[in-house]
Amino acid sequence: MADILASLRSLMASQSPPLDALLVLSEDYHQSEYVSARDKRREFVSGFTGSAGLALITKNEARLWTDGRYFLQATQQLSDQWKLMRIGEDPPLDVWMSDNLQKEAAIGIDPWCVSVDTAQRWERAFAKKNQKLVQTSTNLVDEIWKNRPPAEINPAVHHPLEFAGRSVAEKLKALREKLSSEKARGIIITALDEVAWLYNIRGSDVSYSPVVHAFAIVTLNSAFLYVDKRKVSSKVSSSLQANGIEVREYGAVSSDAAMLASNQLDQATGVNFGQNGVCQNDTCDNDLIWVDPASCCYALFSKLDANKVLLQQSPLALAKALKNPVELDGLKNAHIRDGAAVVQYLVWLDKQMQEIYGASGYFLEGEVTSKKIPNAPCRETMKLTEVSVSDKLEGFRASKEHFRGLSFPTISSVGPNAAIIHYSPQAKTCAELDPNSIYLFDSGAQYLDGTTDITRTVHFGKPSAHEKACYTSVLKGHIALGNARFPNGTNGYSLDILARIPLWRYGLDYRHGTGHGIGSYLNVHEGPHQISFRPQARNVPLQVSMTVTDEPGYYEDGNFGIRLENVLVIKEADTEFNFGDKGYLSFEHITWAPYQIKLIDLSILTPEEIQWLNRYHSKCREILAPYLDKNEMEWLKKATEPHSSFVGHMVAT
């Protein structure tokens, strides 16, 4: 790590002008959350593997900013050459640099790896001391990364209408109508999932996300896909051409953005005006270029006339989030198959924990009788680790129809590791399962008909009263949010508190948001909406046919972590009244897997919460039955049967 920093500082000094600081971001050229191996530049320089973070390297210091999901992980992974800056607790990066770097400092950035809004925010902050954001001609990290993974040539594939639900022609027509209404004559699309959704293509350029490294430009009269042409088969090419989409090399997007700015792109293609678009002649008064400031890189923005740019959220973000009926059916079916895989995993794991470790198991609270696992050499082949059990879970998913891979690295975490919110176990260093500790697994899969994300927390021994109280508080928040009814126009910022109130009652909380959208065989984290305490959750109201997760948690550093997560679909609510004629909304659960009864403190639950839990468990049995064998179904019946206390509550209501 010291050699990496020394090499970067040497390169910084050789630049013109010499750089006083260098910013190394987590994102790729498309501002992606998850990036390919060759784009993990921040991880390479810092050693921190979390998906969110920003590194600053000065002549004498190295600092890394990250959010509350990763405080503990960053503390463990950063060397003593780095200082952790906790977002929300320490000064923001732009404030720190403005306050701590000298006047007229030159701060280097790769303009392809920073969004327009971030770059402009920094420029405003730096201007106070005449500090300057310098766009480097190359990425300095790439220059010193000797063993940087090569670019992979993975094929782009057509995503059929039976899963997509809307044709490319329909999507382009709607997009062009939106452009026209905003007086725009073109849009540069940079977010990988938006390109994939618009053109109904998928790929495997980024692990866990079925996307292709590509840009798109759409005008009122033409459409382009910028991609390594070696990835595009003749079949896919023909499909694109049939929809008026011209395939160009990935690197051509830079020059074409400049041509778009000078209104030469359509003329250069020889497109007949009005053939594909909404403009019937070349006298349209639309003169703006639409750019999403959160996803468009500064390099492409710099090719445009800033006075003729519409800086506004991409219209595709909301269009993609509003699932069509085919996508909703696919998501529901995918979650049923996924729920069956999770139950099969729990059945298997329950048996293994009892046979290998002498655990009392999923249902009983007894002490561990004895550790039956022998000493070496058999021990290494018999023991269960965070990685070996997560591999088994992947195997259960892989047996299901339409499976295409995981949707993110499985968070398989035991005891103290479960307190690391986005923990990523590694085969050489991961923990062995412990029947006396909580086990949290947050996982999901990519299926052709939908993307899944589920979290369950279990204990195979005897949980403490404190662990039960914490689990039950998380469950109460999970139920409260899932049962919410709210008027049209409500955003996720307003609902976030519902999941936290049961935790706040005991002085507990969690440092992450409560819900995110889910893609339709796309990214597992999808906007533009979210349920969170963060200000951006105010930006977009929750709407019918959106998906969103419900995942409160609680984490005690060094002890345990708890999280429960289901995917919900937003639907119209059947309310007795309709104040203000607003219309009201509610949630529908589409995730199916049991909550562990022995981790619940029944005295904390209300009769209404117990009634909800029984109804949910009853649906689990009914919905998953066709996908389970006799033994698995017997286990599920036991896992979801009403406890005697539950029955009493049900009778009382």
- In this structure, the answer to whether residues 166 and 140 fall within a common structural domain is no
- In this structure, the answer to whether residues 358 and 482 fall within a common structural domain is yes
- In this structure, the answer to whether residues 601 and 567 fall within a common structural domain is yes
Cα separation, 551 vs 231, whole angstroms: 37
Q: Please, how many CA atoms are within 13 Å of residue 566, restricted to the half-sphere of its CB? A: 27
Residues of the chain above pLDDT 90, percent: 89
- In this structure, the answer to whether residues 58 and 205 fall within a common structural domain is no
Task: Please report whether residue 623 resides in a domain.
Answer: no
Residue 126 neighbours by CB under 8 Å, 6+ apart: 94, 97, 98, 105, 107, 132, 133
- In this structure, the answer to whether residues 296 and 333 fall within a common structural domain is no
Q: What is the domain extent for residue 20?
A: 1-144
Residues 279 and 220 sit within 8 Å (Cβ to Cβ)? yes
Q: What is the pLDDT of residue 652?
A: 34
Helices (H), 78-167: 93-100, 116-126, 140-144, 161-164
The partner residues of 441 in beta bridges, in order of sequence, read 412, 456
Question: In terms of DSSP bridges, do strands 553-556 and 560-563 run parallel, antiparallel, or are they unpaired?
Answer: antiparallel
- In this structure, the answer to whether residues 428 and 524 fall within a common structural domain is yes
- Quick: pLDDT tens for 290-318: 999 999 999 999 999 999 999 999 999 99
Annotate 267-316 with DSSP letters as a single string: HHHTPPTTSSSS--STT----EEEE-TTTSBHHHHTTS-GGGEEE---HH
- In this structure, the answer to whether residues 81 and 128 fall within a common structural domain is yes
Task: Please report whether residue 643 resides in a domain.
Answer: no
- In this structure, the answer to whether residues 514 and 414 fall within a common structural domain is yes
Cα separation, 457 vs 437, whole angstroms: 11
Quote the pTM value. Answer: 0.93
CATH of the domain at 475: 3.90.230.10
Domain total for the chain?
Answer: 3
Q: What is the pLDDT of residue 379?
A: 57
Can the peptide bond before residue 17 be classed as cis, meaning omega within 30 degrees of 0?
A: yes
Domain boundary among 144, 174, 190: 144
Q: Which residues of the chain register pLDDT less than 50?
A: 271-276, 280-283, 376, 647-653
Mean pLDDT for the chain overall: 93
Rg, the chain, Cα only: 26
Task: Please report whether residue 497 resides in a domain.
Answer: yes
Domain boundary among 115, 144, 173: 144
Q: What is the pLDDT of residue 373?
A: 59
- In this structure, the answer to whether residues 524 and 584 fall within a common structural domain is yes
Spacing of C-alpha 42 from chain mean position? 18
Annotate 9-30 with DSSP letters as a single string: HHHHHHSSSPPSEEEEES--TT
CATH of the domain at 262: 3.40.350.10
- In this structure, the answer to whether residues 365 and 507 fall within a common structural domain is yes
